[in-house]
A and B are shown apart, each in its own frame.
Chain A
Amino acid sequence: MSFPWAQHYQPKAPFMRWLDEKLPLPRLVYNAIGGGYPVPRNLNYAWNFGVLAGFCLVLQIVTGVILAMHYAPNALVAFDSTEHIMRDVNWGWLMRYAHANGASAFFVVVYLHIFRGFFYGSYKAPREMVWLLGVTIFLLMMATAFMGYVLPWGQMSFWGAKVITGLFGAIPFVGEPLQIWLLGGFAPDNAALNRFFSLHFLLPFVIAGVIILHIWALHIPGSSNPTGVEVKSESDTVPFHPYYTAKDGFGLGVFLILYCAFLFFMPNALGHPDNYIPANPMATPAHIVPEWYFWPYYAILRAFTADFFFVPAKLMGVMAMFSSILVWFFLPWLDRSPVRSGHYRPTFRKFFWVLVIDLLVLGYCGGSPAEEPFVMISQIATAYYFLHFLVIIPLVSAFERPEPLPFSITEAVLGSDKKAVLGENTTPAT
């Protein structure tokens, strides 16, 4: 679906006309991310992160498939084959560092993409399905990233796998058999490593499939925008290409500069030195931490130190950790405010920034050792996290008085609802 004024695909070359009749794939692309997709004219740089996330997925698949050509998923040789990639394979060091830092980059842009959604109310009707699919993609990403981190079979890989699969052991009755079934053994070993490799290879393609659904669902109502006011007329939109391909291209350039700074100048800054020690089931590293992108959830997991009614502390922590993301699925119905954008919601806006700080605090605590004061800070921050979604958001949306919305996107951009004339704002100042 698209707006009635969307440009139509008109192949000029005879071959393209022939192809369009047989398999209209170029038409599909043109209507999805080309000139045939009208997009609100007022998108800011917060709207770059979807394209950047797509770029990261491609980057991870390309480098990952290459790494899989040189890696051996066997507990006896996995660590050595990773070092073989680093030392012997031509450009192997680049592929591995690009993949490891690519995972971090992927999470950076996806977190920014999600927080764009939080602030601008992108999850609200009619885009609930876009949001639900997005949260699904995020969960798939977390599973993929976790299993990928196990593959080098270093100390952090092994103990990370042990701690995370140990979480399933907290489930009453079925927990322990479930954990043994997941691992194919009583502790992480060859069986677990092999299946993690298989699934780590599979899941990115599942993610690619869900991304297609995510974009499909987005194209039914069309993209949201910083005012949250829906598109009313042709003057509210510009074609995706060339306007946003250019804007996303600029964003991609900035992103690549930052990414390459990590890749070439501090490739191990986000990793953990203990993972360069081969996995040893008989000795635990002194301080087990997951990768930085899991720190907030790790803090929530460890925040539960006492039994809660009849629920053991460990199970409580596991449930809270999973709920912290599952609660996002309910966000479109927890936030009842008809106004989408945080720009016009003064109270919501303040709580949004408190949530950002809360998550940063949780992240810091999750990366710290489990000792005071971090445990207590994690507990307070965890309580606030759930308070934000389950109490503050519904209450604010019920009682807040939003600021007046512009009549249209064009009015928000130009100050009046007149039709834009090409080049009218380009007269150079004298």
Chain B
Amino acid sequence: MATDTGTADSETLATEDGVRRRDFINIAAVSAAGAGAVITLVPLVSQMAPSKDVLAESTTEVDLTPIKPGQAIKAMFRKQPLFVRNLTAKEIAAANAVPLSDLRDPQSLEERTKDGKLNWLITMGVCTHLGCVPLGAGEGENRGEFGGYFCPCHGSQYDTAARIRKGPAPKNLEVPEYKFETDTKIVVG
């Protein structure tokens, strides 16, 4: 602005480097409006996050009593399949016989199960490649070359510890957070 035609005493209010009171009001007003606009984004963005009812379903209890050694069941955890498998002694031995250096995602069966519960293998039923549901939890389904799970989409094969052994998947089947509530009941999530 070339000349200031504001209030009569605006000249006297100007500081040495030409900053006027109006500049302060300007900056303060725009900053307040800007901060308000940014804060308004919080509800606009967070409404997209999972709602309370979705979060309320985010834990699942599974009763282990009916699962005999060698059997597996498909439960539902967070709207996705959860594989709960009771390993036989032979399957545990097969998993432990594999040297970790042979694995794409090296993890021992012990790391993937709870202490003293080596036979209870609890994993997500979600292939780590593109998210298909692998076969092998149901009775009579193809368990693949390694006796664990087999994904029909792109041929990923998992062993008896649900570790990736062959095919395009990058990682072992995910072990979700869970704990043993009693010896025969787990709480997942």
Contacts and interface: CB of A to CB of B under 8 A. Distances in A.
Interface in B20-36: none
Contacts of A184: 48-51, 54
A69 interface: no
B80 A186 contact: yes
A166 B131 contact: yes
* Main DSSP-derived SS at the B contact region: loop
B74 A282 contact: yes
B147 interface: no
A162 interface: yes
* Main DSSP-derived SS at the A contact region: loop
A163 B131 contact: yes
Interface in A174-226: 180-182, 184-187, 189, 191, 195
A26 interface: no
Interface in B139-189: 152-155, 168, 170
A282 B81 contact: yes
A186 B170 contact: no
Contacts, number: 71
Contact-residue bracket for chain A: 20 to 34
A370 B78 CA distance: 28
Contact-residue bracket for chain B: 20 to 34
A182 B132 contact: no
A395 interface: no
A284 B133 contact: yes
A288 interface: yes
A406 interface: no
Interface in A352-384: 369-371
Contact of A286 (B49, B50, B74, B153): B153
B50 A180 contact: yes
Given A185-B79, A371-B155, A305 B168 contact: yes
Contacts of A371: 154-155
A162 B54 contact: no
Contacts of A181: 48-49
A78 B138 CA distance: 29
B128 to A, nearest CB: 8
Contact of B79 (A166, A281, A286): A281
A282 B51 contact: no
B154 A370 contact: yes
A284 B153 contact: yes
A187 B81 CA distance: 10
A76 to B, nearest CB: 13
A182 B48 contact: yes
A254 B49 CA distance: 47
Interface of A: 159, 162-163, 166, 180-182, 184-187, 189, 191, 195, 281-284, 286-288, 302, 305, 307, 312-314, 369-371
Interface of B: 48-51, 54, 58, 74, 76, 78-81, 129-133, 152-155, 168, 170
The 5 closest A-B pairs by CB, nearest first: A186-B78, A284-B132, A187-B79, A370-B154, A166-B131
Given A159-B132, A189-B79, 16 more contacts: A184-B49, A184-B50, A185-B79, A189-B54, A191-B54, A195-B48, A281-B76, A281-B79, A282-B76, A282-B133, A287-B153, A302-B154, A307-B170, A313-B170, A314-B129, A371-B155
